[in-house]
Chains A and B, each alone.
Chain A
Amino acid sequence: MSLERPLTRNVRPDRSPTDLAAYEANGGYQGLRAAVGRLSPADCLQVLKDSNLRGRGGAGFPTGMKWSFVPMGENPVDASGRPAHKYLICNADEMEPGTFKDRLLLECDPHQLIEGMICAAYTIQADIAYIFIRAEYHKAAALLREAIAACEEKGYLGRNILGSDYSLTMHVHSSAGRYICGEETALISSLEGKRANPRAKPPFPQVSGLWGRPTIVNNVETLCNVHHIIERGAEWFQSLGLTADAGTKLYGVSGRVKNPGCWELPMGTPVREIIEDYAGGMEDGYRLRGFLPGGGSTDFLVEEHLDLAMDYDTIGKAGSRMGTGTMIILDDRTCPVGFVKNLTEFFARESCGFCTPCRDGLPWSAQVLDDIENGRGIPEDLDTLQRQVEFIGAIGNTHCALAPGAMEPIQSALRYFRADFERHIDGAGCPYCDGGQH
């Protein structure tokens, strides 16, 4: 049986973008027609809830439930009597280390995202939508702008979409280039022209988001699923997954594998199958020591976890997170301390600087890792790192999830690769270094 790949069905081998005509020719905008033409927003929401679609940005929060908190009805809550705008925002600020799945969807099939967004916006009755896109994805941004213009011309966007009462304006906004903009409330702050600082919740954006109005922020991949689900139903979507989690997932592998890349596979595909069958296994001469299953801010898993299914719950139970589903492989010739140091320096640099544990704790952790890696470590440093993990690593200790995520590779590296840390300290240098060079 050939696999069903709804998200990447328009992705061509040469990665050339699919234009509106080609998109329509391949059944495009049928989901939108179904939604706007036949279904009420409440119907759409119900299908979404039934489908068990979970957020593909990393947290895995059930999408339907998230949307159900948006105030609905003729006059959504607005104490000031302001025009009751609601917003849908696509989070296309893909900056998680090792993650490149959204880029594939954005560059190869922009209309899929737009159709998904229109259906999502229709479901929550948003009248303005933004695509908040990573500045480096300028090619995708240009394609999206073109696609939006084409849709406006075609009546898929703008006033009275497909002759209905529903109207939607869509904008592309290029990010200023901070990792923290991927956090939904920091993204909203940034979109408002403010410092990209996350916001405390509650109130949640569903109630008080962009410009203080009800707002939904979803990841690119999540939104790309929406119209497929509306068009083909919750049961179809559920049937795509191999385990309890529904749908397909874009999985990626980077590191010393023969064929690094990104593939749409059924949700719950075993890790080993992704690494060995699709990524072609390890490069010759390299052995797998561990992997970050879902980007830079997830805990290491090791060889014993290779037969686990890549879904939210299974990976969670193993002590990590599926995150974005794009794995980074640690091989046996790369120094785990240097690997973690590199990541920690990234996260420390990308801290918005708002709360203390993240702003000052991450640079401290990076400093300790740098000391260990460069032969200046002392045995107490491992205690310091462990304390930092407990201090920074828990959600709630910090203002947002950046720092807890950043500590995940450190805490799991201390668990799985502790001997490597000790060898650095005992030998006053990096054992992976060759004459001082990595």
Chain B
Amino acid sequence: MPSIRIDGVTYEVEAGRNLLETCLSLGLDLPYFCWHPAMGSIGACRQCAVVQYLDEESEQAERGRIVMGCMTPVTDGAIFSLSGDKARHFREAIVESLMLNHPHDCPVCAEGGECHLQDMTVMVGHRDRHYRGRKNTHRNQYLGPLIHHEMNRCITCYRCTRYYRDYAGGTDLAALASHDHVYFGRHAEGVLQSEFAGNLVEVCPTGVFTDKTLVEDYTRKWDLQSAPSVCTGCAVGCNTLPGERYGRLKRVHNRFNADVNGYFLCDRGRFGAGFVNSDKRLLYPGLRLADGRYDALHHHGALQHMQQMCRTGKVAGIGSPRASVEANFLLQTLVGANNFAPGFSEQEQPLVDLALALQQDSRAVIPDIRSIESADAVLILGEDVTNTAPRIALALRQSVRNKAYEMAAHLGLETWQDAAIRNLAQDQRSPLYIAAVADTRLADVATRNLSLAPGGVAALGAAVAALISGEEPEDLPPHLREQAGQIAAALSAARRPLLISGTGTGSAAAMQSAAAVTEALCAAGSQAMLCLVVPEANSLGQAMLTGPDAPGLATLRERAESGELDTLVVLENDLYRRGSADSIDRLLQAFSNVIVLDGMDNATTSSASLVLAAASFAETDGTLVSLEGRAQRHYPVFLPPQERHPSWVWLLACMKELERPEVRSLHHFDDITRSCGARIPALAGITAASPDYHYRNVGVKIPRQPPRYSGRTAMRADRSVHERMQPSDEESPLAFTMEGLNRSVPGALLPWVWAPGWNSNQSLHKFQSEVGGPLQGGTAGVRLLQPGNPVSAAGLSVDTVTAPAEPGHWLLVPRQHIFGSDELSALSPAIAELAEPGYIALRSADAAALGVSPGDGVVAGNALATLAVRVDDSLAEGCAAYPAGLAGTENLHPLDRVELRRAENWQRPPEVIGSDGGARLRGARPRGARPRGARPGGGDV
């Protein structure tokens, strides 16, 4: 370990690091802008200047030279000064220079109060402005419904383009112009195209890129009440920090988890929680009257009806892969495992069960995202991860850089020397092979993109597995045989090969072949990784809870029709997304009573006899099991209003009313978690996901509100001058107050990041064990899947589905969309604005054969759907793609073979310009017209 001296104090430090991160890890405040722990150093802002001395003599004489902390490796015996006048004056001069053109508009800036530029300005002590010239100004751009642009605030640190282009692979944001006119924007106004654009909000050290949804419904950071949460947008399980004020969810920030999301979220995760504020949320339970209207009930009345309906003893339950383990467990307990369907669609249920089984029975490592970033050869079979598990796509963009790091190591460059490594490696990347029905958003970094029908994808995977095992694959066309050979060679040569597949294409065979490849690699002694993507936040937990023998929706329907069951309890699940309208109608009609617990008005709640208003993820505790088998707890950010309650509260109360013995000893949320862990072997570990209610930090609870939370006494002053008692949290170690301590808390309980002098999210390093390292309190969550299990040979038979040879018929393949395919995030206004209308995509030759061109209508099957035609020549032959989960595609099923024909009387949809009302576009719009997807009543801002 090198030993360095800083201001006369000697430190033993970690080799291979730069001085800036070393100082921050040592707790020394050294200001910076352009350096980012996940993006390394480029030396642009010159803010982290220190003085380096050649030797002790020059230190005595204070004859040193200015060096940049971020660009200076720590070497044994090096002598630095942070606090000397020369370094301090230089750093102050940097801020003074950065502020020449800054508008000083902090009072109206969304970043104010959590602004790194404010913090650094105070830190360097700059106060007096000497510049007397005019400020440069810029025009701002409309960048879509997610990101607000205010270019005048820019300090030209280049973090935005480095993140957007270099890290996230975006192409439509760039540094434009030069000298003190550098402009960060698009070549023309328009929606930012990256699925990860939202991270600009947190990457930008000042208020150039801010969260537009927050700007439109604004609250300062210090007034946000927040709690550790887990994103419910997909199965990755990114850790989030939602913030609330006045009962509205204001924004979602990233919550650092070294093993999962690190510093970054996807835009579905960041902007997809807006549904929590929707006016379609239910506030009261409702009982359906004879005329079809609903009577609002008090919770006592609702419980009375519920327990009466459940007293028949012929109760079935349908759980939900988007509801917590605990709520599902309670419903399962209420109805009994034989009567409990996990709530997947008929197609999805065996796929999720298979995904779980393949991971449980695998010798391969089930990787977290950090491990995915370390992969040095990747094969993706079928899954379009950018749209189904977006954070994994961002991780894969980092994994292909491992080749560059290898080259850099050869030259003695450290990984933080970002610009140098990019210049060295240029377009050299680690192998990434993608076989999918069409090109995906990772195509630009892939070694090879292969367009194959799901059956072809599986066949390719099986061939790769065979080749790795030294066998010659059968029945493979020559060009695929060659590709398979290259892929097998790349995977075999890698130290950390990774296979990715999932349920997204609806193909079991693709997942099986991925497992077969990892098995072959493991058999050859490799540390292979297997990542299988499942659709929803708790899909895997649901499979663990119910097991492969759980009844499906059709089974429950048959048993109800036979009179075996008469009451159905549906937990947080819009069944009309799980099957065709006909089949769900039949299912619901088979029961005399349908009780639905959900948060949002939807087709299923509208069919219920009794609706119970359920809290959203932001209003309740819950444990979710992510696709890597990580159980993670989320906590209520705020308490639900009126008669909206967490599902587990409804279910527990109902079972108490029913005097069910299983719940006699269950009083709190933790009791349910414990009971579930004790009864369900696969979920035994979940109690370790986070500390229980009794955890105290130095004797006190952890505050959800930061110390500067303001206006609590005035919030309700229009109604009463008496300050209402803060609600107490009887379920968790968190409190709805600003009193308490947020220091060294377990990672799972970190409610916000804030440190003296560090008001922005850059204060995170004060909570990490070292810069970029895990949180001091440990990484959140517990892994339920243990790697290294012996493989069960039965799981590895690959059943391939091939495209139909019959003319006029196509194989329907689903394409997932980050904006729109997920149920709840699609109900968030900002995401809804980005969601595309339904379509059917065809190869141009197929479109021509049908006599249609883009924008024309096409009818699938026997009027299953009529949708606009899109042309995508990267589609595999014989396939027609449709967007899963989008309006108009409800009756289309993955891998069905359907006839397509041109739609008669089809009216081409008008050309729509997505807009939130950017000033110039608003002027052009007819009065009264509202952009597609705009929030009703939201109005123009």
Contacts and interface: CB of A to CB of B under 8 A. Distances in A.
A350 B133 contact: no
Contacts of B906: none
Interface stretch (A74-82, A161-169, A259-267): A74-82
Contacts of B158: 354
Interface stretch (B42-50, B437-445, B591-599): B42-50
Contacts of A364: 97, 100, 131, 133
Nearest to B425: A212
Interface in A69-87: 77, 79-80, 82
A363 B90 CA distance: 18
A350 B425 CA distance: 28
Contacts of A363: 100, 133, 179-180
A200 B94 contact: no
Interface string A391-432: 100101111000000000000000000000000000000000
B44 A399 contact: yes
Interface in A258-292: none
B178 A391 contact: no
Interface in B829-849: none
Contacts of B47: 356
A224 interface: no
B403 A391 contact: no
Given A355-B45, A399-B44, A367 B179 contact: no
Contact of B66 (A207, A394, A399): A394
Interface in A343-364: 348-357, 359-364
B127 interface: no
Contact of A195 (B42, B49, B175): B175
B428 interface: yes
Contact of B423 (A212, A356, A394): A212
A353 B44 CA distance: 9
A178 B45 CA distance: 21
B522 interface: no
A13 interface: no
B71 A396 contact: no
A355 B403 contact: no
Interface string A53-71: 0000000000000000000
A411 to B, nearest CB: 16
A141 B425 CA distance: 31
Given A79-B407, A394-B65, A354 B44 contact: yes
Contacts of A356: 44-47, 94, 97-98, 155-156
B93 A352 contact: no
A399 B413 CA distance: 18
Contacts of A203: 411, 413, 420, 424
A212 B409 CA distance: 14
A359 B132 contact: no
Nearest to A357: B46
Contacts of A212: 407, 423-426, 428
A353 B179 contact: yes
Interface residues of A, number: 43
A432 B403 CA distance: 62
B49 A397 contact: yes
A249 interface: no
Contacts of A211: 426
Question: For this complex, into which size category does the number of interface residues on chain B fall?
Answer: 35 or more
B182 interface: yes
A208 B97 contact: no
Contacts of A399: 43-44, 46
Q: Which of A348, A349, A397 has the most CB of B within 10 A?
A: A397
Given A367-B133, A394-B65, A79 B406 contact: yes
B181 A353 contact: yes
A384 interface: yes
Interface string A210-249: 0110000000000000000000000000000000000000
A387 interface: yes
A232 B482 CA distance: 57
A208 B44 contact: no
Contact of A353 (B131, B182, B410, B411): B182
A188 to B, nearest CB: 8
Interface in B621-637: none
B67 to A, nearest CB: 6
A396 B420 contact: no
Interface in B91-141: 93-94, 97-98, 100-101, 130-133
A200 B181 contact: no
B15 interface: no
A350 to B, nearest CB: 7
Given A203-B411, A356-B47, A396-B66, A80 B403 contact: yes
Q: Which of B97, B181, B420 has the most CB of A within 10 A?
A: B97
B94 A352 contact: no
Given A349-B179, A353-B180, A396 B90 contact: no
B13 to A, nearest CB: 21
A208 B49 contact: no
Interface in B699-747: none
Contacts of B178: 178, 195, 351-353
Given A79-B410, A195-B175, A361 B43 contact: no
Interface string A366-386: 010001000010001000100
Nearest to A388: B93
Interface in B380-421: 403, 406-407, 409-411, 413, 417, 419-420
A103 interface: no
Nearest to B67: A396
B675 to A, nearest CB: 56
A396 B130 CA distance: 24
Given A80-B407, A360-B98, A355 B423 contact: no
Interface string B163-190: 0000000000001011111100000000
Given A203-B424, A352-B178, A79 B411 contact: yes
A211 B130 CA distance: 43
Nearest to A363: B180
B43 A357 contact: no
A200 B42 CA distance: 8
Given A367-B132, A391-B90, A399-B43, A359 B411 contact: no
13 contacts: A192-B426, A202-B420, A203-B411, A351-B178, A352-B178, A354-B158, A356-B46, A356-B97, A357-B46, A371-B132, A394-B65, A397-B49, A397-B90
Interface of A: 77, 79-80, 82, 178, 192, 195, 199-200, 202-203, 207-208, 211-212, 348-357, 359-364, 367, 371, 376, 380, 384, 387, 391, 394, 396-399
A-B residue pairs, 7 tightest by C-beta: A79-B410, A360-B97, A367-B133, A353-B182, A79-B407, A212-B424, A351-B179
Given A192-B426, A212-B407, A398-B46, 9 more contacts: A79-B406, A178-B178, A203-B413, A351-B180, A356-B156, A359-B180, A360-B180, A384-B130, A391-B90
Interface of B: 42-47, 49, 65-67, 71, 90, 93-94, 97-98, 100-101, 130-133, 155-156, 158, 175, 177-182, 403, 406-407, 409-411, 413, 417, 419-420, 423-426, 428
